[in-house]
């Protein structure tokens, strides 16, 4: 299986590497919240000896309702991410939704994420892959909720072909649609995706979502079962996942987006300590 490296940060993900941590906020709310979250998570990962990438979205375009909070937008959001990167000396992961965003996002983000619903959008994937690769970054490609693990081969191949054979893809498992308003995670899918020669992460946060099932808004937003995040994360690491993708908030019940599937920030240390232990035992 491939090992991918962020050369600017001397940080690798893949076979034989430490558990890779991509963690932060679901969406940017303000600079101070981003600071609090980045400071805490970087400190935990530093103490545990784990490679850490700060994650936050500048725009959540895939919303249930037109009234849902989306974030500060491209310009202001990238300014916040740039400041977090400089202040805390951490690499950045964020997602995008349009091909025109690829160049400005790749200027700031070291790992650029393709959302699950957009994983097969050729123009977006190609533009993002080229912009990211030209700056030495990596691509975090989420498996769609309606896609079999082995079908992600086309996603990986599309990037390789766009880059003349270069490999910068990390695949991300985030659950599969199971009937209405529910997702399940097939842990065997992690190994299936690794057979494609790419590292694989688990998005344990979005895997506990209950789409369109938030009782607080009568279905106008996504519900979730945040108590299930540690279970899915630990099971995935035991099953061989190379990294984890986690979202935290100091007070998830007050988060402006996806609070029901977000973990309290004060639970980060215990969870990451457990995940490291599982990864070490597995190795």
pLDDT tens profile 157-187: 999 999 999 999 999 999 998 888 888 999 9
The values of phi and psi at residue 271, to 5°, are: -65, -50
Minimal CA–CA distance to 97: which of 75, 125, 71, 77? Answer: 125
pLDDT at 214: 54
Give the containing element (helix H, strand E) for 13: strand 11-14
Of the candidates 26, 42, 55, 143, the residue annotated as catalytic is 26
How many residues make up the chain in this entry? 283
The gap from C-alpha 194 to its chain's centroid, in whole angstroms, comes to: 17
Give the residue, 18 or 220, on which the prediction is more confident: 18
The residues spanned by each domain of the chain are: 3-282
Give the containing element (helix H, strand E) for 263: strand 263-264
In sequence order, what E strands does 132-217 have? 138-142, 169-173, 176-177, 183-184, 200-203, 209-210
Average pLDDT, the chain: 93
Instruction: Verify whether residue 182 is a known catalytic residue.
Output: no
pLDDT at 211: 67
Is the separation of the CB atoms in 169 and 13 below 8 Å? no
Instruction: Verify whether residue 214 is a known catalytic residue.
Output: no
Instruction: Verify whether residue 60 is a known catalytic residue.
Output: yes
Band (pLDDT 50/70/90 cuts) for residue 220 is very low
CATH architecture assigned to 3-282: Alpha-Beta Barrel (3.20)
pLDDT at 215: 55
pLDDT tens profile 63-103: 777 878 898 999 999 999 999 999 999 999 999 999 999 99
Is the separation of the CB atoms in 198 and 2 below 8 Å? yes
Of the candidates 55, 242, 258, 276, the residue annotated as catalytic is 258
Of the candidates 42, 55, 59, 60, the residue annotated as catalytic is 60
Q: Which of 8-12, 133-137, 260-264 has the lowest mean pLDDT?
A: 260-264
pLDDT at 258: 79
- State pTM to two decimals: 0.94
Minimal CA–CA distance to 95: which of 78, 116, 71, 112? Answer: 112
pLDDT at 136: 98
pLDDT at 183: 87
pLDDT at 259: 80
DSSP string, 14-39: ETTSPPEEEEEEEE---HHHHHHHHH
pLDDT at 216: 56
Give the residue, 13 or 117, on which the prediction is more confident: 13
């Amino acid at each position: 299986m491939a090992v991918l490296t962020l050369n600017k940060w001397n940080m690798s993900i893949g076979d034989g590497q430490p558990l890779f941590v991509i963690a932060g906020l679901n969406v940017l709310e303000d600079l101070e919240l981003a600071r609090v979250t980045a400071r805490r998570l970087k400190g935990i990962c530093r103490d545990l000896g784990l490679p850490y990438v700060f994650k936050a979205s500048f725009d959540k375009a895939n919303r249930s309702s037109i009234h849902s909070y989306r974030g500060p937008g491209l310009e202001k959001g990238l300014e916040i991410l740039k400041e977090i990167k400089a202040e805390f000396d951490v690499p950045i992961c964020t997602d995008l939704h349009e091909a025109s965003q690829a160049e400005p996002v790749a200027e700031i983000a070291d790992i650029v994420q393709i959302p699950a619903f957009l994983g097969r959008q050729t123009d977006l994937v190609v533009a993002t892959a080229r912009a990211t690769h030209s700056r030495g970054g990596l691509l975090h490609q989420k498996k769609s909720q309606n896609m079999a693990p082995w079908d992600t081969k086309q996603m990986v191949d599309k990037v390789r072909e766009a880059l003349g054979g270069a490999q910068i893809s990390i695949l991300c498992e985030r659950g599969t649609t199971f009937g209405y308003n529910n997702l399940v995670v097939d842990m065997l899918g992690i190994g299936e995706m690794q057979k494609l020669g790419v590292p694989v992460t688990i998005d344990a946060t979005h895997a506990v979502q209950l789409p369109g099932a938030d009782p607080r808004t009568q279905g106008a937003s996504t519900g979730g079962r945040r108590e299930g995040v540690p279970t899915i994360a630990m099971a995935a690491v035991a099953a061989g996942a190379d990294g984890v993708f986690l979202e935290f908030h100091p007070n998830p019940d007050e988060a402006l987006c996806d609070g029901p599937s977000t973990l309290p920030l004060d639970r980060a240390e215990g969870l990451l300590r457990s995940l490291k232990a599982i990864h070490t035992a597995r190795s």
